[in-house]
Structure 1
Amino acid sequence: MKTPAPESAANALHPALEHIALVVFDLDGTLIDSVPDLAAAIDTTLTERSLEAPGIERVRDWVGNGSHKLVERALAHAQAISEEAVDRETVDAAHARFLEHYAAAPCARTRPYDGVRQCLSNLATRGVTCVLVTNKPIAFVGPILEHFELERFFALTLGGDSLNEKKPHPAPLLYSAQQMDIDPAHALMIGDSRHDIEAGKAAGFRTLAVSYGYNHGEPVSASEPDYIIDTLAELR
């Protein structure tokens, strides 16, 4: 099983990365700001049904539990009912349309956050294995990474439909550690939401939260990650 090489004082890592051989990254809200494109697809999906478009700011608070849940939340809000009260067939049909709209332009307004490429390049130089674990459907992940030329940094990529469970369940993180042959004690989960931090803790990973991103309108500090940073450029 792989373990990280010791660091010299002159080449010291950020404390979050000390003795870390595997870093698992979230995608939306951590590496990329994808809400503008997600919101555009949600708005179109709802207006097709003669429902009010929620707009970017509301969608920003709904992202994080996968696309199906995002559509369910949007429909519930538009109809002023609880998420549990939304008709399942209606959610499924609206979700299918949402996927069509999003697939048509997943990168039109999406942008990587500052410091992302620098961070990934630094980790690659140091020989740290990087994996991407997102709740976004896997069909969208490859094209987005390729568009921003980030795919080469990841040894493994998992979407919300890649396994039977998704974050906040620890299964995708434990699967990643197993596939990379790295002990969870030497792994770090980096994300922007409580779901990322919960998954990391449950998997026995160290956890780091970015202060930006999407966390349902709540401060990510409430999840008590091991570390919080304002930009991924701080990880060096």
Structure 2
Amino acid sequence: MKSYEYYLFDADGTLIDTTELIYQCFSNTLKTYAKRRIDRQEVIRNIGLPLRRQLECYLGTLSEDEAKRISSYHMEYQLGIYTNFLKPFPGIIDALRNLKSAGKRLAVVTSRMPDSLELYLRHTRLLEFFDALVTPASTSKHKPNPEPALKALELLEGAPEKALMVGDATFDIECGARAGADTAFVAWSHHPLASLTVSPTYILHSPSELHKKIKNAEKE
């Protein structure tokens, strides 16, 4: 891996392990609004999409009022249970600390809304490492569109050719690639490599591997 000046990280499934939290929340929401059970793999496939798009995958097209009401119910439940499930992936803190000590600029590029993102990053002690946060509230278009990655680079005052987008879903890899950045797919989450529609520049199998590659790149 070469050295980069700017690092853009997805949040859910990349920095923080939220899979069980997300599954529990959708299980509760669909039990309430659709009277059905949901398969864990259904949920995993759609992690990375904005919440409304995820809800519409299971409930069909929603009106503005329906989307607002169901999203509010969903997030209220999530905020009541997140401390039972939320944790950073092992090795992530070391990787981020190494980047910051090397003078790199970091951003989160996520489909999670700003209130819960900041709360969860603070809870997992990751917030301090980031210079910018890009959420669906930051842009009019969302992953896999390149606009979120380009917005992050604008905030970091960086160029795509000096940036690496790191994520666990095809939405992340496509977003970064379409923005002109190199990309790294993280295989420590639940999305299989076969699910990608765009080939990443790198494949990383653990946060510790990311940490080692970053350290080695900075020595070259």
Q: Answer yes or no: same fold by TM over 0.5.
A: yes
Bin for the TM-score computed over the shorter chain:
0.7 to 0.9
> 2:179 matched to 1:207?
no
Q: CA deviation at 1:55?
A: 4.8
Give the RMSD, CA atoms, in angstroms.
2.0
**Pairs within 5 Å for 1:190-201:** 190-201=166-177
Q: Deviations over 1:99-148 (max 9, x none)?
A: 22122223321222222111111111111111101001111100000101
> 2:197 matched to 1:233?
no
Candidates 27, 33, 38, aligned match of 1:43: 27
Quick check: 2:7–2:104 contact (8 Å CA) kept in 1? yes
Looking at structure 2, the residues matched to 204 and 152 of structure 1 have their Cα atoms a distance apart, in angstroms, of 27
> 2:87 matched to 1:111?
yes
The list of structure 1 runs, each at least 4 consecutive aligned residues, that deviate by more than 4 angstroms after superposition, is: 89-92
Aligned twin of 1:28? 12
TM-score (norm 2): 0.87
Looking at structure 1, the residues matched to 140 and 34 of structure 2 have their Cα atoms a distance apart, in angstroms, of 34
Looking at structure 2, the residues matched to 99 and 200 of structure 1 have their Cα atoms a distance apart, in angstroms, of 27
Looking at structure 1, the residues matched to 197 and 30 of structure 2 have their Cα atoms a distance apart, in angstroms, of 32
**Pairs within 5 Å for 1:82-231:** 83=60, 86-88=61-63, 90-215=66-191, 219-220=194-195, 222-231=197-206
Which piece of structure 1 moves more, 49-58 or 199-208?
49-58
Q: Does the residue aligned with 2:84 lie in a helix, a strand or coil? A: coil
Aligned twin of 2:47? 63
Which piece of structure 1 moves more, 167-176 or 129-138?
167-176
Percent identical pairs in the alignment equals 25
User: AA paired with 1:107?
Assistant: T
Seen in structure 2, the aligned counterparts of structure 1 residues 32 and 123 have a Cα distance that, compared at 3 Å, is same
Q: CA deviation at 1:222?
A: 5.0
Which piece of structure 1 moves more, 48-57 or 119-128?
48-57
TM-score (norm 1): 0.81
Aligned twin of 1:78? none
Looking at structure 1, the residues matched to 130 and 195 of structure 2 have their Cα atoms a distance apart, in angstroms, of 25
User: AA paired with 1:232?
Assistant: P
Looking at structure 2, the residues matched to 91 and 156 of structure 1 have their Cα atoms a distance apart, in angstroms, of 28
Q: CA deviation at 1:20?
A: 0.8
Looking at structure 1, the residues matched to 5 and 104 of structure 2 have their Cα atoms a distance apart, in angstroms, of 5
Structure 2 alignment gaps of length 5 or more = 216-220
Quick check: 1:46–1:52 contact (8 Å CA) kept in 2? yes
Quick check: 1:23–1:129 contact (8 Å CA) kept in 2? yes
User: AA paired with 1:26?
Assistant: D
Quick check: 1:208–1:225 contact (8 Å CA) kept in 2? yes
Seen in structure 2, the aligned counterparts of structure 1 residues 221 and 70 have a Cα distance that, compared at 3 Å, is closer
Looking at structure 2, the residues matched to 164 and 199 of structure 1 have their Cα atoms a distance apart, in angstroms, of 14
Looking at structure 1, the residues matched to 123 and 15 of structure 2 have their Cα atoms a distance apart, in angstroms, of 13
